[in-house]
Structure 1
Amino acid sequence: MDTRLLTLNGGDVEYVDTGGDGPAVVFLHGALMDEHLWLPVVERLAPRLRCVVPVLPMGAHRVPRPDGADLSPRALGTLVGDLVRALGLRDVTLVGNDTGGAIAQLLVADDPGVAERLVLVSCDAFGNFPPGLPGRTMALACAVPGGLRMAMASLRISALRRLPMTFGWMTKRPIPAPVFDRWLDAFAADRRVRRDVRALMKQVDRRQLVEAAHRLRAFDGDALVVWAAEDRVMPLDHARRLCGALRNARLELVEDSYTLVPLDRPERLAALIAAFVPSPSGPAADVSAPS
């Protein structure tokens, strides 16, 4: 799917937009990823829903943010809210996986009217920010001059991608090589992209999500918490606590998946989202296989 450009806060943001008249679903990815995290799900939902996937400045983006831009997690949430309004999206369902779920929480805590529905998929929550062993490894690499660049370069060796401290605990099955290589290429191509992700990581603080959790009750829309039953990075207890923090939430467990459910079980996640978002008139999406 082709990306488009939208100017927000003095800089361009890439995004995928399938268009159409259906309800809008905005998908948020995690650090060192891009829209390809969500495409296996989007391909199943696009016949019925308008799917929008912004490429957030989190290390695999191809359009750097302007010099001096605020790249805190909270500011990224604001950026998403600005995109929703700039595109004139209505009846919005906000969906976040991995650190994209953290951005979604921060956004609805600050701006509860931005979306009608919220879907949190195996994501950072409470004190797990940055999340688990992979998140702590990334934070440590960012703290050492040249550390993150060296760590990412090492992932050109495919066997290292399956280590628990890298992506081995993120997906149950290997991430397709073209997708992973795309993320590495984007990171390596522009020093400003690397600057952006370092600026983000410097401002990640577990207290941000702890505080945001206390304000999630301001969001009065329906919420769906989807969690990988075998997740090794995002504690299952956090899924239950998120359901308690939100007013109208229910929990669905996904078997045979680790954190990145959109890659491990796209058909199951697409079916859950399709059932959660009210159906417009017209044919239902075929979520069993990509179109």
Structure 2
Amino acid sequence: MPRIETSSGPIDYQDTGGEGPVLVFGHGPPMNETQWRKVVPLLDGYRCILPTLPLGGHRQPMNPDADLSQRGVALLLGEFIEKLGAGPVTLVLNDWGGGQFLVSEGRDQQIARMVLVACEAFDNFPPGPAKAMARVSGIPGSIWLLTRLMRVPAVRHNRGGYGGMSLRGIPDEVMDDWFAPATRSRAIRRDFAKFATGAPGRRTLLAWSERMRDFDRPVLVVWATEDRLMPREHGPRLAALYPQGRLVEIADSSTLIPEDQPERLADVLIDFLTETGAEPARHVS
């Protein structure tokens, strides 16, 4: 797997290659690039870049002094995109919405457009049940305990937690892979705790959100109608926040639309890309 060295540590990534427009995919905590395993094969003609961000599922620990707050990880993503050197890219987010803070930080020059798929927004950082986890994640040993609890099927598949993020159910082998790094590495657990406790207060989050109005490029908001974590009203509100925002709602899905409705998501993504000047390579003469 290729790697980019950043000021905060190494970022591993997958790269499908090719000459098509570049799409950079974010993921949720403590997930990795496999969150998009059903969607990427449907995006023929695009170069898909899937970094594994330090949200707890990363395989290489970051520097001990790395800033892994919401803002810090957003800036790290921006640094990754800059060092990738692929020109302005389409940023695609699902679950974790912190990549939007590149706009509020004025570091969005390499973002040609955004696709926000059932992700954190406004003051919903972190969402729902994750708020309780965030409150205790600073306690020594809490992340270690979480990794052990996630081995218990009743906890892993509980509809109030990770089990509620997909209507179809996340395969056990995929979840095993997501939690493996934090299970085996104290340094990864340290990084995970930094991120889990790194959201600012509500007033700051809402102030950052207001700055999103400055993003003058196309934004597609894709929202799930049966999401337990991302409020239904945030979809249209987020689309209205961005000057060139548009909303598509997808039925029969929870937060992980790439898991529940990959074909539908790929279709709306390709339509949006084509309409905004990023046609797949096979359509370019």
> Under a length normalisation based on structure 2, what TM-score does the superposition of the two structures give?
0.93
Structure 2 gap segments, 5+ residues each: none
1:15 pairs with 2:13 = yes
Separation in structure 2 between the aligned mates of residue 280 and residue 150 of structure 1, nearest angstrom: 45
Residue number among 260, 270, 274 corresponding to 1:274 in the alignment: 270
Shift of 1:158: 2.2
Separation in structure 1 between the aligned mates of residue 281 and residue 194 of structure 2, nearest angstrom: 44
Root mean square deviation, CA, Å: 1.6
1:42 pairs with 2:65 = no
Shift of 1:129: 1.0
Q: What is the letter of the counterpart of residue 229 of structure 1?
A: T
Separation in structure 1 between the aligned mates of residue 164 and residue 280 of structure 2, nearest angstrom: 37
The residue that corresponds to 1:55 in the other structure is 52
Moved more, 114-123 or 83-92: 83-92
Separation in structure 2 between the aligned mates of residue 151 and residue 8 of structure 1, nearest angstrom: 28
Residue number among 258, 263, 267 corresponding to 1:262 in the alignment: 258
Separation in structure 2 between the aligned mates of residue 281 and residue 146 of structure 1, nearest angstrom: 49
The residue that corresponds to 1:288 in the other structure is none
The residue that corresponds to 1:92 in the other structure is 89
**3-state DSSP class of the match of 2:109?**
helix
Separation in structure 1 between the aligned mates of residue 115 and residue 71 of structure 2, nearest angstrom: 18
Q: What is the letter of the counterpart of residue 52 of structure 1?
A: I
Deviations 1:115-144 (A, max 9, x none): 1111111111111111012x1232134143
Residue number among 190, 204, 213 corresponding to 2:199 in the alignment: 204
The residue that corresponds to 2:29 in the other structure is 31
Shift of 1:281: 4.5
> Under a length normalisation based on structure 1, what TM-score does the superposition of the two structures give?
0.91
Residue number among 189, 194, 198 corresponding to 1:194 in the alignment: 189
Deviations 1:212-267 (A, max 9, x none): 21001111100000000111110011111111211101110111110011111111
Summarize the alignment of residues 13-162 of structure 1 with structure 2, pairs less than 5 Å apart. Answer: 13-45=11-43, 47-99=44-96, 101=97, 103-110=98-105, 111-133=107-129, 135-162=130-157
Moved more, 217-226 or 157-166: 157-166
Q: How many residues align?
A: 278
**3-state DSSP class of the match of 1:243?**
helix
Structure 1 gap segments, 5+ residues each: 285-291
